[in-house]
């Protein structure tokens, strides 16, 4: 099983920093900033105003359309409702909560027992999942309820993504090792909703303990754990589907077009929590790691905790060069450390000066190493050339829109050409040309 | 909260934030290392003049590129070592007796006109070293005087007079005669010829090094040499097919050209199918020129001609992008 998808590469995974670190609950800080933009789609409207008391798990934002609510992750008082720095680099409407450290639970949160859950219809389950504010926790933050509603009756293969191919991140690995039963329970709820013929958990084979834990927990449920070669970007949706089923998602379509649905493993755990314990998505496992931390950790972090608090807890050693939300391949660099964790933030990665790589005026040497690693089988070297011409038609012809921005080409480029970075600009040009 | 209070300089940029270990400079260093066995061999076969020619050529190329950048206020990229590779390869394609001044003019032509004028590394259409060699044929006598191989007959560092000249296997074969030299001599390099081309075994060591360090894939060299082997086997001009084929493969600049010049990133195609076609066509042209051309060597011109076709070959063999499995996909 050496072949799983075209291209890809093996960046230094740096997972050893946190691989053996148990998930620690992280005490909520004094102030939390809960963004109203925690998913793809319509941002939430704040449901509370300055001065309001809030309880842990209380809904504090919601809206109509493609939107799922957000909840207070602690109890306390609303300190402000205003735009604050967001991990995307923009300022977003946020509810700032002053923590009273009482953790007074919202009355609406009530656990359900097995019999109650077993009696529920798929629609009722989806309603719970929506109300719990669950989104895809692998990074895309697509509202899970929307994906499930769209998938009913159309899905024959359900794939749970536990690949975690980004360097440094071990949050999902630890979750599989420590909470395998909850994960499997969550997956069984998803199976009840989608009724797929086959269910797989795709996981890279560099996490043998997690594979074992999942296999044990899965038992005879029919959920198959599929170890895959460790290769970046194994966790990319289309590449994962190909590795598991051998099917290619047609260019420009979604996995549902070939009867597949992919959900992140942490999302499954959140589904289990929401349905059985009634707890909405108010905390998640975050890997805080990097090459200049004294004590990198896996932390169960309340949503809305500032990056600065997390870094302080892990002991910053020396000047950070970059602080990323996510891993080094696809994470976004932060300019303000007061940004807070969101539902899709699986890691905070701190890189020191020695990871700096910059070439002034890079010259492509046409080595073709970008073509070798492109998982979408594109030709970055020629796409790069088409950008120079500024000709939108030429860019389209080079399939620029099929680029999923995994960053393999730029990682591998000996000349240091910022390929994927330029492709993003090019894609934007194509999009704005199409809008005209 | 202390962290936000302090002023921190954080760098913002688009992902990815990690980079592989391979750099242009690293690639060029590997190529230089891969070329070293042949250099050592040339000193053994032709004396220290061979080394001097190589050093002069490398220094000249480096200085010309530096000069271009400084005088024209261009971004100085000499640290990528590519000028040294050009200099060394150009020296390799010259006889050890080549006059230094002619070589330096060829270096200037290669670096200034063929490489820098087109925009520097990555932008040139033709392989600078080979173009420089083609330019050197402005002095045909210098380029076709072959010293008899051997330490006792080595050329002096400053004077190339008083040396015994000899024929090369290629010259005999150009007259459709079997070469007088034995296969073993051709294999180890105990024959007359250009500085870096004579020893097949030392070039093969360099080839293996480049393969191991993943600088090149064997696609172009194998297609190139394979095509030459096949054609010379099918159409031998002597009575022993196998011997004719082996002599053709081991003589002249084929090994050197196929390994180190046809694989030049900048002037070869980027697609796999394009590379196969490029290698095969280089092979065909080489045999055609060797058989029917006025001059007995065809490698450098074959590669130069194919350099001009690279833009065309890049269109061939474009990989089928992910998400287009056969004809099942709608709209395709």
For A364-402, the DSSP string reads -----HHHHH-TT---HHHHHHHHHHT-HHHHHHTTGGG
CATH 3.10.20.600 domain position(s) in chain A: 26-108+280-354
- Rounded CA-CA distance A21/A378 in Å is 38
- Rounded CA-CA distance A33/B20 in Å is 36
Runs of H (alpha helix) within A222-303: 237-245, 265-272
According to DSSP, the residues that pair with A203 across neighbouring strands are A227
Interface test with B, best of A166, A248, A394 (most B CBs within 10 A): A248
User: Closest approach of chain B CAs to the CA of A357, in angstroms?
Assistant: 7
pLDDT for A3 equals: 67
A356: confidence class by pLDDT, cuts 50, 70, 90: confident
pLDDT for B9 equals: 80
Chain B environment of A357 (Cβ under 8 Å):
18-19
Q: Are B36 and B50 in contact (CB under 8 A)?
A: no
Q: What is the mean pLDDT of chain A?
A: 93
Q: Which helix (H) or strand (E) holds B85?
A: helix B82-92
B13 and chain A: CB distance < 8 Å anywhere? yes
- Rounded CA-CA distance A141/A61 in Å is 16
Burial class of residue A421, CB neighbours in 10 A (0-12, 13-18, 19+): middle
- pLDDT of residue A384 exceeding 80, the answer is yes
DSSP for A295-340, please give it. Answer: S-EEEEEETT-BHHHHHHHH-B-S--SEEEES-TTT-EE-S-TT-B
- pLDDT of residue B1 exceeding 50, the answer is no
pLDDT for A328 equals: 95
Least confident of A232-236, A354-358, B3-7: B3-7
- Closest CB to B1 among A6, A308, A381: A308
A residues 371-410 closer than 8 Å to B (CB): 371, 375-379, 381-382, 399, 402, 405, 407, 410
Rounded alpha-carbon distances, angstroms, from residue A31 to A36, A101, A315, A354, B322: 16, 10, 20, 33, 46
User: Closest approach of chain A CAs to the CA of B115, in angstroms?
Assistant: 12
DSSP for A273-285, please give it. Answer: IIIII---S-EEE
B16: confidence class by pLDDT, cuts 50, 70, 90: very high
A290 and chain B: CB distance < 8 Å anywhere? no
B295: confidence class by pLDDT, cuts 50, 70, 90: confident
What's the total number of domains in chain B?
1
pLDDT for B315 equals: 86
Handedness of CA A181, A182, A188, A194 (dihedral sign): negative
pLDDT for B19 equals: 92
**B10-14 mean pLDDT:** 88
- Rounded CA-CA distance B67/B222 in Å is 38
- Rounded CA-CA distance A356/A376 in Å is 27
Is beta strand A198-204 parallel, antiparallel or unpaired with respect to A157-161?
parallel
According to DSSP, the residues that pair with A323 across neighbouring strands are A350
Location of structure tokens 């360090």: B213
Q: How many CB atoms lie within 10 A of CB B190?
A: 17
At residue A354, the 3 state secondary structure works out as helix
Q: Look up the CATH superfamily of A110-277.
A: NADH-ubiquinone oxidoreductase 51kDa subunit (3.40.50.11540)
The string of pLDDT tens digits covering residues B42-93 is 999 999 999 999 999 999 999 999 999 999 998 889 999 999 999 999 999 9
Q: Are B121 and B160 in contact (CB under 8 A)?
A: no
Torsion angle of C-alpha atoms A374, A376, A379, A380, degrees rounded to 10: -60
Question: Do you find a cis peptide bond into B100, omega within 30 degrees of 0?
Answer: no
Least confident of A28-32, B21-25, B166-170, B326-330: B326-330
B residues 27-46 closer than 8 Å to A (CB): 27
**A268-287 mean pLDDT:** 96
Q: Are A408 and B17 in contact (CB under 8 A)?
A: no
Decide if A322 and B8 are in contact by the 8 Å CB cutoff. Answer: no
At residue B91, the 3 state secondary structure works out as helix
A254 and chain B: CB distance < 8 Å anywhere? no
- A26-108+280-354 is a CATH 3.90.1150.10 domain: no
Decide if A411 and B19 are in contact by the 8 Å CB cutoff. Answer: yes
Chain A environment of B73 (Cβ under 8 Å):
none
According to DSSP, the residues that pair with A99 across neighbouring strands are A76
Q: What percent of chain A has pLDDT above 90? A: 89
Decide if A364 and B4 are in contact by the 8 Å CB cutoff. Answer: no
**B137-142 mean pLDDT:** 89
- pLDDT of residue B327 exceeding 50, the answer is no
Helix pair angle (B82-92, B24-46), 10° resolution: 30
B73 and chain A: CB distance < 8 Å anywhere? no
Kindly provide the b/e burial profile for residues B113-151, where b requires at least 16 CB atoms within 10 angstroms of the residue's own CB.
bbbbeeebbbebebbbbbbbbbbbeebeebbebbbebee
Range of the domain at B303: 24-313
Chain B environment of A338 (Cβ under 8 Å):
4
At residue A211, the 3 state secondary structure works out as helix
pLDDT for B160 equals: 64
Residues, chain A: 436
Report the Cα–Cα distance between both ends of chain B, in Å, rounded. Answer: 55
Which residues contact residue A402 at a Cβ distance below 8 angstroms, ignoring those fewer than 6 apart? A251, A252, A376, A378, B321, B322, B323
B16 and chain A: CB distance < 8 Å anywhere? yes
Q: What percent of chain A has pLDDT above 70? A: 99
In a domain, B321, yes or no: no
- pLDDT of residue B97 exceeding 50, the answer is yes
In this structure, what are the phi and psi dihedrals at residue A324, rounded to the nearest 5 degrees?
-115, 145
B98: confidence class by pLDDT, cuts 50, 70, 90: very high
B71 and chain A: CB distance < 8 Å anywhere? no
pLDDT for B238 equals: 81
According to DSSP, the residues that pair with A78 across neighbouring strands are A97
pLDDT for B53 equals: 96
Q: Are B89 and B261 in contact (CB under 8 A)?
A: yes
B315 and chain A: CB distance < 8 Å anywhere? no
CATH 3.40.50.11540 domain position(s) in chain A: 110-277
DSSP for B120-177, please give it. Answer: STTT-SS-HHHHHHHHHTTSHHHHT--BPPSGGGPPPSS---SPPB---HHHHHHTT-
**A287-298 mean pLDDT:** 94
Least confident of B216-220, B272-276, B320-324: B320-324
Each as own residue / partner, the long-range contacts of residues B273-277 (CB below 8 Å, 24 or more positions apart, any chain) are B273/B316, B273/B317, B274/B310, B274/B313, B274/B314, B274/B315, B274/B316, B274/B317, B275/B217, B275/B219, B275/B220, B275/B223, B275/B313, B275/B317, B276/B219, B276/B223, B276/B317, B277/B313, B277/B316, B277/B317
Is beta strand A76-85 parallel, antiparallel or unpaired with respect to A53-54?
antiparallel
- pLDDT of residue B35 exceeding 60, the answer is yes
With CA atoms as reference, the chain A residue closest to B310 would be A366
- Closest CB to A332 among B15, B120, B325: B15
Report the Cα–Cα distance between both ends of chain A, in Å, rounded. Answer: 47
- pLDDT of residue A1 exceeding 50, the answer is no
pLDDT for B330 equals: 39
At residue A66, the 3 state secondary structure works out as coil
- Closest CB to B27 among A376, A377, A414: A414
Chain A environment of B20 (Cβ under 8 Å):
9, 11, 411-414
- Rounded CA-CA distance A10/A205 in Å is 13
CA B157 to chain centre: 25
Decide if B323 and A308 are in contact by the 8 Å CB cutoff. Answer: no
Chain B environment of A337 (Cβ under 8 Å):
3-4, 8, 10
Location of structure tokens 């909470």: A179
B266 and chain A: CB distance < 8 Å anywhere? yes
Which CATH number goes with the domain that contains B35?
A: 1.10.3430
Chain A environment of B123 (Cβ under 8 Å):
363
Which residues contact residue A294 at a Cβ distance below 8 angstroms, ignoring those fewer than 6 apart? A314, A315, A316, A317
Decide if A414 and B270 are in contact by the 8 Å CB cutoff. Answer: no
């Amino acid at each position: 099983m050496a072949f799983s998808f075209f291209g890809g590469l093996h960046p230094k995974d740096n997972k050893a920093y946190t691989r053996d670190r148990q998930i620690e609950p992280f005490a909520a800080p004094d102030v939390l900033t809960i963004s109203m933009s925690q998913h793809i789609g319509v941002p939430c409207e704040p449901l509370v105003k300055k001065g309001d008391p809030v309880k842990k798990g209380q809904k504090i934002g919601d809206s109509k359309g493609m939107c799922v609510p957000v909840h207070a992750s602690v109890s306390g008082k609303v300190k402000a409702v205003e735009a604050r720095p967001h991990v995307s680099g923009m300022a977003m409407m946020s509810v700032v909560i002053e923590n009273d450290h009482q953790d007074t639970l919202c009355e609406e949160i009530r656990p359900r027992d097995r019999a109650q859950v077993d009696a529920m219809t798929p629609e009722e389950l989806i309603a719970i999942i929506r109300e719990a504010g669950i989104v895809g926790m692998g990074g895309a933050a697509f509202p899970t309820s929307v994906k499930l509603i769209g998938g009913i009756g159309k899905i024959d293969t359900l794939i749970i993504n536990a690949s975690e191919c980004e360097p440094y991140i071990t949050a999902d690995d630890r979750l599989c090792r420590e909470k395998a039963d909850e994960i499997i329970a969550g997956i069984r709820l998803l199976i009840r909703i989608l009724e797929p013929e086959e269910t797989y958990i795709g996981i890279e084979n560099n996490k043998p303990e997690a594979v074992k834990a999942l296999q044990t927990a899965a038992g005879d449920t029919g959920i198959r754990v599929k170890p895959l070669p460790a290769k970046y970007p194994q966790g990319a949706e289309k590449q994962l589907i190909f590795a598991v089923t051998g099917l290619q998602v047609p260019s420009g379509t979604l996995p549902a077009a070939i009867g597949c649905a992919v959900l992140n493993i942490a999302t499954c755990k959140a589904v289990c929590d929401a349905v059985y314990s009634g707890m909405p998505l108010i905390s998640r496992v975050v890997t805080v790691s990097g090459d200049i931390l004294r004590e990198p950790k896996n932390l169960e972090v309340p949503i809305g905790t500032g990056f600065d608090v997390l870094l302080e807890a892990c002991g910053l050693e020396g000047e950070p060069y970059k602080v990323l939300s996510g891993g080094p391949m696809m994470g976004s660099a932060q300019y303000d450390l007061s940004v807070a964790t969101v539902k899709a933030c699986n890691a905070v990665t701190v890189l020191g000066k020695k990871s700096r790589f910059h070439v002034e005026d890079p010259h492509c040497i046409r080595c073709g190493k970008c073509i070798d690693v492109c998982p979408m089988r594109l030709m970055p070297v020629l796409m790069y050339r088409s950008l120079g011409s500024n000709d939108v038609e030429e860019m389209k012809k080079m399939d620029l829109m099929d680029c999923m921005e995994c960053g393999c080409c730029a990682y591998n480029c000996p000349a240091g050409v910022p390929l994927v970075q330029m492709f993003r600009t090019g894609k934007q040009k194509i999009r704005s040309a199409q809008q005209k | 909260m202390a962290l936000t209070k302090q002023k921190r300089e954080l760098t913002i940029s688009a992902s990815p934030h990690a980079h592989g270990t391979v750099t242009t400079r690293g690639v060029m260093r590997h190529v230089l290392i891969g070329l070293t066995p042949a250099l050592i061999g040339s000193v053994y076969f032709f004396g220290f003049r061979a080394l001097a020619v190589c050093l002069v050529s490398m220094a000249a190329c480096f200085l010309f590129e530096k000069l271009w950048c400084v005088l024209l206020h261009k971004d100085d990229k000499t640290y990528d070592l590519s000028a040294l590779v050009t200099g060394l390869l150009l020296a390799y394609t010259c006889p050890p007796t080549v006059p230094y001044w002619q070589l330096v003019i060829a270096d200037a032509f290669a670096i200034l006109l063929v490489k820098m004028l087109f925009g520097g590394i990555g932008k040139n259409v033709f392989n600078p070293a080979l173009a420089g060699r083609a330019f050197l044929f402005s002095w045909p006598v210098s380029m076709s005087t072959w010293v008899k191989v051997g330490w006792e007959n080595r050329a002096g560092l400053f004077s190339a007079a008083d040396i015994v000249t000899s024929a090369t296997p290629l010259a005999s074969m150009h007259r459709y005669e079997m070469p007088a030299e034995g296969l073993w001599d051709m294999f180890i390099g105990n024959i007359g010829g250009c500085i870096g081309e004579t020893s097949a075994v030392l070039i093969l060591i360099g080839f293996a090094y480049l393969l191991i360090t993943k600088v090149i894939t064997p696609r172009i060299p194998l297609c190139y040499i394979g095509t030459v082997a096949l054609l010379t086997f099918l159409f031998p001009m002597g009575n022993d097919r196998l011997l004719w084929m082996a002599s053709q493969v081991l003589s002249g600049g084929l090994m050197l050209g196929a390994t180190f010049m046809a694989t030049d990133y900048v002037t070869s195609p980027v697609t796999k199918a394009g590379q196969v076609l490029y290698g095969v066509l280089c092979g065909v042209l080489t045999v055609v020129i060797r058989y029917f051309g006025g001059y007995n060597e065809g490698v450098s011109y074959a590669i130069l001609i194919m350099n001009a076709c690279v833009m065309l070959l890049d269109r061939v063999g474009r990989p089928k992008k992910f998400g287009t499995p056969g004809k099942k996909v709608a709209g395709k």
